[in-house]
Amino acid sequence: MHLHGGKFKPLFHYSESMPDHKNPRKHADMPTDCPASEAYDWDVELKSKDAAIRACVAFQELSEALAQPFKVLWSRTLKIIIQHKRLINEF
């Protein structure tokens, strides 16, 4: 753990088993999922660690990019609702 904003930030281990391998403790080369929280530090245990980390970062960036149009639309909708409420209250 390291100090984060005056508090300890937990460290979690993340690993996946090699699919269809007789030894379930053998680590996979690449992830099928990614740690989803930035509230924690992650110790990533995968055979192709550098490529796996790049894949997780790319997945996160893609997820954020896909969510962006909805954030913009929601923000504009809220502004319209607030303006509409102000107009109603003026009458």
pLDDT tens, position by position, 20-76? 888 888 888 877 777 777 778 888 787 787 887 787 788 778 877 777 777 777 777
Q: Give me the pLDDT at residue 37, please.
A: 73
Q: How many CA atoms lie within 13 A of 48 on its CB side?
A: 11
Q: Give me the pLDDT at residue 3, please.
A: 55
Amino acid at site 49: K
For the chain, the structural domain boundaries read: 2-90
pTM of the model: 0.44
Amino acid at site 53: I
Q: Give me the pLDDT at residue 27, please.
A: 83
Q: Give me the pLDDT at residue 56, please.
A: 74
Please name the residues in contact with 1: beta carbons below 8 A apart, sequence gap of 6 or more. 8, 9, 10, 11, 41
Q: Give the sign of the dihedral formed by CA 65, CA 9, CA 30, CA 47.
A: positive
Q: Give the sign of the dihedral formed by CA 38, CA 44, CA 46, CA 48.
A: positive
